[in-house]
Chain A
Amino acid sequence: MNALYKHRLFWPIASLLALIAINAIARPQFIKVTVRDGELYGALVTILKDSAPLMLVALGMTIVIATRGIDLSVGAIMAVSGAVALTIIDGSGSPDNLATVLIAVVVALLVALILGAWNGLLVTVLGIQPIVATLVLMLAGRGAALLITGGEITTVNSAPFKWMSGGYLVALPVAFLIGLLAITIMGLIERRTALGVLTEAVGINPEASRLAGVRARGIIWGAYMVSGILAGVAGLIYASRISAADANAAGVFIELYAILAVVLGGTSLNGGKFSIAGTVVGVFIIQTLDSTILFLGIPSAQSPVFFGFVVAIVVVVQSPRVRTALGSLGGRRRSRGTSGPSTDTVEVAR
């Protein structure tokens, strides 16, 4: 029991279960999953389906944050990738052709990859702070997306493209399966190879890892490229959901929610140790909270207040001061590893 309590994912999972329990008590139909024509429906399935874009973006963000970086440009990359794909489909004249859609998807993802590589270039080669380096693309990217669509909202009716967000495969929403695929690939690459450990090494101490022979530059660069391409996929799913490329609305604030999901999942913004499972739980917490707020009948415009308080509570609970206080209350609870002087030295090293 004690080991369970100490596990780093204990609090995130506990909060998620609590949220689901509250919802289930308030409205029993929340946990009901129905099968219709071999496809699953229900509030929980909707949460799984709708969480896909945030899931993809947050996964990329986890890796970037693990290298001590941050990627603010993901929303803009989403907008660009959606704009590229829909402009190609719109211009082709045969929107229902599978080959057209495939070409559009591949080109959009390539563009997203290039944008991610650009971020990585600024951070690694030019040595610019990640916040600032990605701020450039965050500002300029949305403008570029608007230029691609000609300043309009490109709408498209394409069945294969729509399938990405609305379709079902083996009874599960395709969007969720895409997210699941990304989680699996990331989990395998980061945890079944040495890459995850190397990423953490770079994040914990870039200088020491360089001296130890870790090629930090390549790892950091790769992290931004992964974040870029995942944001590209997220942009495609978003565009597919609304059947349109809305450069102004695609992925607005998603960088903030993604960072929130990563932090909720217990990954520190100081870089280093990261948890993909934590991020997944964090995304589900956010999506469930969103659905709860909607259910309570609060206008969705007012929901940021709740997120504001959630962020504040989470970061205060995670802060060294409160941890130390809690640690002294609970006697011999661990307080060394997470608190202590490490935060100060990290700031200086940055």
Chain B
Amino acid sequence: MTATMARSERRTGAGPSAFQTFLSRHGGMMPTFAAVLILLLLFVGAEAFLRGDFISGGNISALLLDNAYLMVLAVGMTFVILTGGIDLSVGSVMAFTGILGAKLLADGLPAAIAVPAMLLGGAAIGLFIGILVQYFGVQPFIASLAGLFLGRGLAFIVSLSSIRVEDTSLLWLQSERIWMGAWYITPTGIIALSTVAIAAFVLHLTRFGRTIYAIGGNEQSARLMGLKVGRAKVLAYVISGSCAGLAGLILTAYSGAGYPRNGIGTELDAIAAVVIGGTLLTGGRGYVVGSMIGVFVYGTIKSVINFMGAEQSWMQIIVGALLLLFIVVQRAIVARSEGRR
């Protein structure tokens, strides 16, 4: 991304219209650039007005640590939104897999069984939603709503109260810190970043990934082109479900316990992060790296609010306002590109 930005600057020097050419060619990237810009502004603003050590290794590392689960959720959500769908179930699936893992570990099962069970649990609910969407023509909103209810109820069936995790290998994911100067990263952070990397690879360099974009662009055309639309669409929901399972693992390691009330409303945070990161909710346009930036924007606002000691209610208002801003920007971009066509 930085490479493309640098290239754009060089071209601007070459000719007066180069910048416009770049804009028209990469109009879809503009919202993501805007997200990067907002992130930088937030960083600089917080550094200048709030405290001197905001842009520091420790702080940025903590940002990744605190938001690792949301990043994994946002990656899964990006797949679904790119197909033009939506997945409301991720928050409760995360709670379900988290409490499921904690319960299995508390029953004395090793992590080698509990962790795959968590991922499979998430994938199963994703598969359920995907089948409803693809084979029964149910709208993604309603199908994933069923998944939301299912996940939340299952979480409470596993346990009505929180379960502490004593398993050392799971807690290690959170406690282990790999230091690089002032920076550190935990295994959960590595999981989150590699999820982003793998997703970016899959979306941009594999046939499946291009199919996802094609479905979001125009499902009918994708089908007529002979792409395996049905399989890809179901897979997108399975991926989102598995990501929710993984997020459950990360959150359980992070909080040291499984709790059936975790993640109420987290699906909205994930959707907001994806939209702020520049992915269009109509599908077909967007970048998984953008979703990562969106999560960082979200996390930074949260830590700024924490630092200012303001009420958490501001968080919801600011995220809502940012969401509105980005939607209007996206709307303008879509209207422009449609007008050109």
Contacts from A to B (Cβ < 8 Å): 70, 122, 126-129, 131-133, 135-147, 151, 247, 252, 256, 259-260, 263, 269-270, 299, 301-309, 311-312, 315-316, 319-322, 343-344, 347-348
Q: Are B316 and A139 in contact (CB under 8 A)?
A: yes
Q: How far is the CA of A139 from the CA of B150 in the complex (A)?
A: 23
- Assuming A131-B281, A321-B136, is B316 touching A142 (CB within 8 A)? yes
User: Beyond A143-B316, A303-B153, is A135–B268 a contact (Cβ under 8 Å)?
Assistant: yes
A322–B135 CA distance with the chains assembled, in angstroms = 10
Q: Which residue of B lies closest to A306 (CB)?
A: B153
Cross-interface CB contact of A304 among B135, B141, B150, B320, cutoff 8 Å: B150
- Closest residue on chain B to residue A299 by CB atoms: B160
In the complex, chain B residues 273-312 whose Cβ is within 8 Å of any chain A Cβ:
275, 281-282, 311-312
Are the CB atoms of A305 and B157 closer together than 8 Å? yes
In contact, B138 and A136 (Cβ under 8 angstroms): no
Q: A136-B320, A139-B319 are in contact. Are A146 and B311 (CB under 8 A)?
A: yes
Measured in the bound complex, the distance between the Cα atoms of B327 and A301 in whole Å is 35
Q: Tell me whether A256 and B148 are in contact (CB under 8 A).
A: yes
Instruction: A343 to B128: give the CA distance in the assembly, Å.
Output: 21
Check if A315 sits within 8 Å of B220, measured CB to CB. Answer: no
* B317 touches which of A128, A143, A301, A316 (Cβ 8 Å): A143
CA distance A128 to B272 in the complex (A): 15
Do A138 and B136 have beta carbons less than 8 Å apart? no
Main secondary structure of the interface of B (DSSP, over half): helix
- Among B126-154, those with CB < 8 Å from A are 128, 132, 135-139, 141-143, 145-154
Q: Mind listing 19 A-B residue pairs with CB under 8 Å?
A: A122-B324, A128-B327, A131-B86, A132-B327, A135-B268, A139-B268, A139-B316, A143-B317, A143-B320, A256-B149, A301-B153, A301-B156, A302-B153, A306-B153, A307-B149, A308-B148, A315-B138, A315-B143, A319-B136
Q: Chain B's nearest CB lies how many Å from the CB of A184? A: 29
Residue B315 contacts which of A133, A143, A260 (CB distance < 8 angstroms)? A143
- Which of B142, B260, B282, B317 is in CB contact (< 8 Å) with A311? B142
Whole-angstrom distance between the Cβ of B152 and the nearest chain A Cβ: 4
Given A304-B150, A305-B153, A311-B145, A269:B139 Cβ within 8 A: yes
- Indicate if the CB atoms of B136 and A126 lie closer than 8 Å: no
Q: With A127-B331, A136-B320, A143-B316 known to touch, is A70 a contact of B141 (CB < 8 Å)?
A: yes
Assess whether A311 is in contact with B149, with CB atoms less than 8 Å apart: yes
Residues in A whose Cβ lies below 8 Å from that of B220: 344, 348
User: Contact: A147 with B143, CB < 8 Å?
Assistant: no
B271 in the interface (beta carbon within 8 A): yes
A305-B149, A305-B153 known; 15 new pairs, CB 8 Å cut-off, are A128-B327, A135-B268, A135-B271, A136-B323, A139-B272, A139-B320, A140-B320, A146-B312, A301-B260, A304-B92, A304-B149, A308-B150, A309-B150, A315-B132, A315-B142
The 10 closest A-B pairs by CB, nearest first: A140-B320, A305-B153, A143-B316, A308-B149, A308-B150, A146-B313, A304-B153, A319-B136, A139-B320, A304-B149
Q: Is the Cβ of A128 less than 8 Å from the Cβ of B150?
A: no
Give the residues in chain A near B153, CB-CB below 8 Å.
Answer: 301-308
B325 — nearest CB in chain A belongs to which residue? A136
Q: Which residues of A contact B282 (CB under 8 A)?
A: 129
- A296 CB, min distance to chain B CBs, angstroms: 14
Taking CB as reference atom, which chain B residue is nearest A313? Answer: B146
Q: Which residues of B156-188 have CB atoms within 8 Å of chain A's CB atoms?
A: 156-157, 160
User: Using Cβ atoms and an 8 Å threshold, which residues of chain A touch B331?
Assistant: 126-128
Kindly provide the distance from the CB of B99 to the nearest chain A CB, expressed in whole angstroms: 12
